[in-house]
Amino acid sequence: MHPRQTRSIVTRINTLVSRAVLHKTDSEPGVQTLQLRILADEDMQDVEHVEPYGFTSSPLSGAEGVVLNVAGRRGACVGINFGNRNVRVTGLKSGEVCIFTDEGDKITLKRDRHIKIETLHLEIEAQEDVTVDTKIYTVNAAQSVRYNTPQFALGGEGGCDAAIEAEMSVTGGITQTGGITSSGDHIAGGISQVNHTHTGDSGGMTGKPQ
C-alpha cells in the first residue's frame, strides 16, 4: 500500500474514533448525555452515552472512554465504554463478572456458580413475596435478628424440627397445640413448677412435685 493511502486511512480512523475524558454526566434524559474533552483541548457538550439494554451507570468525572463520530461527522457523535481506572475491580478470574461502585459496593459473579454481594446496607423490596429454595440457610448476625410481622410460622409438609440454641424472650401470648417437653423448670406467675409447695389437705405443707 502506498504511504499516502496509509495516511489517508489513519486520518479517516482518527476522524471516526477518538479517546475522551469525562467532565460531567446528565442522567435525567432518556439517553444520558456527557460533557467530554476530546484529544488535548477540544470540549464537547451533550454527547449521547450509548448503553446496553437493562444496564445503566453514571461514571465519575475523569472516566475515560471512546467517542464514535457517526459517518465521520463531529456533530453526530456518541460515547461508549466510559470507566474509571482508579476504582475498577481488579484480580477477577477469566469468566468472572463484577458490578461495582467507587464506594466499595460489589456484586461479583464468581467461578463455580458463586455470587458474592458486598455492601453496608442491603434492601430487597418485593411487593408480593420472596421465596428462597435451598438446602441449608444460614444467617450470621453479630447483634440481632428482627422479624416485624403479624404472623410467623415454622414447618410445612412433613413437619419441622426447630432447635433454638440461645436464650429467647417472647412478648405477647403463646398458644400451644401439643405437648411441651422440658429438662428445666417452668416458672408460671412467679411460681416454680418444680420446687413449689402448698398447703396439704390435712394441714402442713406438701413436698415438692415428684
Quick one: pLDDT at residue 177? 81
> Percent of the chain, pLDDT > 90?
50
Quick one: pLDDT at residue 178? 82
Average pLDDT over residues 7-21: 63
- Is 79 exposed, middle or buried (CB count within 10 Å of its CB: 0-12, 13-18, 19+)? buried
Quick one: pLDDT at residue 9? 43
Quick one: pLDDT at residue 5? 46
DSSP string, 117-171: EE-S------SS------S------SS------S------TT-------S-----
CB 18 within 8 A of CB 39: yes
Q: What angle do CA 49, 52, 53 make, to 5 degrees?
A: 120
CB 107 within 8 A of CB 98: yes
Give the predicted TM-score (pTM) of the model. 0.71
89 versus 182: the higher-pLDDT residue is 89
Domains and CATH numbers, the chain: 3-83 (2.40.50), 87-122 (no CATH)
